[in-house]
Amino acid sequence: MRFISAAFALFLVGSAHAGGVERLKAFIAGARTAEADFTQTVVDKTGRVTQQASGKMAFSRPGKFRWDYTAPYQQIIVGDGTKLWLYDADLDQVTVKPLGDVVAGTPAALLAGDNAIEKYFNLKNAGESGGLEWLEATPRNSDTTFERIRMGFRGDVLAQMELVDQFGQRTTLKLSRFARNPGIAASRFRFTPPKGADVIGE
């Protein structure tokens, strides 16, 4: 299944002088839903761009999220609170697995998880760079895809995420048209496999 794991895979309030960690915690305390457009770039350890994609993301805390990749191909990733659904339109294939701890050390846990964020991550402020206030999150569980996740905030909005995996790949997610606490229909976080699609894992 062609699946971009960085999507785990889809923002923030704080004072002007608050560090990244404080902004993340304030957001988790106050934001139940969010949605944004995103662009994603993956660079290998030599600095070569290996993937570029774009689409829309949304989440509803706790535990529900959706990433719709629209270019250069269609792919849908949905966490419905119980199961994780991965749909590749080109392959007409759906992979489904229990949500459980699958997302525990991923960006989905940072954005759509419960309030016990420090159960899954060590958090530290990472200073200001490029006009953004950064934090760095390191998964407590070593059995995860990512070695570290950086989140950069501009004012009260999460503008960028940088994900470094165990192979030295760096994935950059840039967010735009970010909306905090929009009304999102519950149906957006449900997924029904298209008729005729191959379903793996259920």
Q: How far apart are CA 58 and CA 55, in angstroms?
A: 11
Average pLDDT of span 60-89: 91
pLDDT confidence of 136, banded at 50, 70, 90?
very high
Q: Which residue has the higher pLDDT, 89 or 20?
A: 89
Write the pLDDT tens digit of every residue in 138-150.
Answer: 888 777 778 888 9
Q: How far apart are CA 138 and CA 124, in angstroms?
A: 9
Q: What is the pTM of this model?
A: 0.81
- Domain assignment of residue 149, given as a range: 5-200
Q: Which of 31, 33, 49 is CA-nearest to residue 41?
A: 49
Examine the pLDDT at 134 and tell me if it is beyond 90.
yes
Using an 8 Å Cβ cutoff, are 178 and 36 in contact?
A: yes
Average per-residue pLDDT for the chain: 83
Give me the number of domains the chain comprises.
Answer: 1
The enclosing domain of 109 has a CATH number of 2.50.20.10
Q: At which residue do the structure tokens 């949500």 appear?
A: 99
Percent with pLDDT over 90 in the chain: 49
Q: How far apart are CA 4 and CA 8, in angstroms?
A: 8
- Note the pLDDT of residue 7: 41
- Note the pLDDT of residue 189: 95
Phi, psi of 154 (to 5 degrees): -115, 110
Examine the pLDDT at 6 and tell me if it is beyond 50.
no
- Note the pLDDT of residue 102: 63
CB atoms within 10 A of CB 178: 19
SS3 per residue for the chain? CCCCHHHCCCCCCCCCCCCHHHHHHHHHHHCCEEEEEEEEEEECCCCCEEEEEEEEEEEECCCEEEEEEEECCCEEEEEECCEEEEEECCCCEEEEEECHHHHCCCHHHHHHCCCCHHHCEEEEEEEEECCEEEEEEEECCCCCCEEEEEEEEECCEEEEEEEEECCCCEEEEEEEEEEECCCCCHHHHCCCCCCCCEEECC
Q: How far apart are CA 160 and CA 41, in angstroms?
A: 11
